[in-house]
Structure formats: C-alpha cells, structure tokens
Amino acid sequence: MPKPFEFTALLGGGWKNVTFGPFHEGIEICRLVEGDPEVALLRYEAGAKAPRHIHHGMESILVLEGSQSDDHGRYAAGSLVVNRKGSDHRVWSEDGCVVLIQWEKPVEFIE
C-alpha cells in the first residue's frame, strides 16, 4: 500500500517553505498532488482575480491566510468553501490570501 502524502504544519504557516510557480496573473501555484483529484496551494497577490469559470467536478477550498471572495461572499482564514459540479463564479482577493484547493476536474474559463 502506498504511503500517504503528508504536509505538516499547514495551518501553522508550513506552506511558507514551498516553491510556488506562475498560474494566472497575480496568482501562484504549488502543486501538491497531481492527477485526479488535484491538490494545490494557491497564493493570491492583493487585488488578484480569476475570471468566471465553470466547475466540471467538485472543488473544495480551505482559506489558510487572508481572505478570498467570489460572487457568493467573502471567506476569511479558516473558511471551507465547496463548489459543486456545474457551478460557476469569479474569484478574487482584495488583500491577498493563501488557499489549499482540491478539484476533481479542471475548470473551464467562460469569461
């Protein structure tokens, strides 16, 4: 049986020691688990935005630091957001944030 993937001290800022790369303008990514599903950390600069997109599978987001907003509200650190298959929204962060994100299928940008 394969050993589980472990990422220690995530809530205590353990993500600060990982390497991020470009993802979208103002948003960086650190891919933790590639495949289906995919798990990553996203780091948003203050004011960064992701265009409207539709989810072709479930996505869950845990806000680790800062706050993230979408068309439905603003989510502070500690918030868990679940976007169901078929849902769509825009995402932004006014003051910057880091989130742990897991998605079943890639999203489709529709804007």
Domain extent for 51: 20-109
Residue range 8-28: average pLDDT?
A: 90
1 or 31, greater pLDDT = 31
* Residue 3, domain member (yes or no): no
Kindly tell me if the per-residue pLDDT of 80 is higher than 80: yes
Give the SS3 label for residue 59: strand
* Residue 7, domain member (yes or no): no
The helix or strand, by DSSP H or E, that contains position 105, with its residue range, turns out to be: none
Q: What pLDDT shows up at residue 87?
A: 96
The closest of 75, 71, 80, 81 to 97, measured between CA atoms, is 75
For the segment 24-46, what is each residue's pLDDT rounded down to a tens digit?
Answer: 999 999 999 988 889 999 999 99
CB neighbourhood size of 91 (10 A): 24
* Residue 45, domain member (yes or no): yes
Q: What is the DSSP letter of 64?
A: E
* Residue 94, domain member (yes or no): yes
CATH of the domain at 103: 2.60.120.10
Q: How far apart are CA 71 and CA 102, in angstroms?
A: 19
pTM: 0.92
Q: What pLDDT shows up at residue 58?
A: 96
Radius of gyration of the chain (CA): 13
Q: What pLDDT shows up at residue 59?
A: 96
* Residue 6, domain member (yes or no): no
* Residue 69, domain member (yes or no): yes
How many domains in the chain? 1
